[in-house]
Structure 1
Amino acid sequence: MDSKIELIEGTDIIKVSYRGDVTLDERVNCVEQICVEYKALESCIKILIDAQEVTEVMSEVEQTLFANYIASREELEGARVAVLVKPEQLINNTVIEQATILGHKTKLFNDIYIALNWLNETE
């Protein structure tokens, strides 16, 4: 698995790029890194996850565990998360549904510009 976490220049949006097979442990490590390195950002963290090159979908159990882990992180309370995928790509629907139920604003996109606009919307 290849992952990269960076702040998009000139914004307050954290971009996470995944490629290949991404395990539950690797995803948890990325969340931990975001919570530690970007805790100084405003209270509503904005994250763009580029999952277009992910080749493996987590099991239902792993997805539920991951969603519960995300929800347990105070740093991510009220986070807005845009997930960028290819139209034909298999996705981790359970994570997205469960994270939404637990209070996160998570949405799928096929276009990076629409995703960025959504992340920058004020409510």
Structure 2
Amino acid sequence: MMKISAKYVGIASSLGILSFLFIFCYANPYNNEFEMDWVKQRNILFVLGLPAVINLLSIIFNRFVLNLVTLVWLSPFMFYVGLSKIPSLWNWFAFFTLIQIVTLFFLKKKKKKKMNM
């Protein structure tokens, strides 16, 4: 049986957040506008996209503190968007953020185990 590493789950979750941010900005099924104006796109990409990319890189390069900082930055926004309307497509934001938090603890536990050996 193949063991799935917490690192790969975290990477998949980060990519899920980034893909849903793309849908949120450019292909939003709940928005009647065909194009989102540049100010909204810039704000969403700065507030949510940049930390999501940094989170992805921190998981790839095993940087626990940077991962923690980006999760603290992302969590309030993601839980607000994910839980403001149930059921909705955006509930996946809350799900992916929970996976990120669980992954963070597994990566920390794995790092401590390596240090003790």
TM interval, shorter chain, is under 0.3
- Tell me the TM-score normalised to structure 1 length: 0.27
Which structure exhibits the higher relative contact order, with contacts defined as CA atoms closer than 8 Å and separated by 6 or more residues?
Answer: 2
- Tell me the TM-score normalised to structure 2 length: 0.28
Larger Rg: 2
Kindly indicate which of the two structures has a greater share of residues assigned to strand: 1
Kindly indicate which of the two structures has a greater share of residues assigned to helix: 2
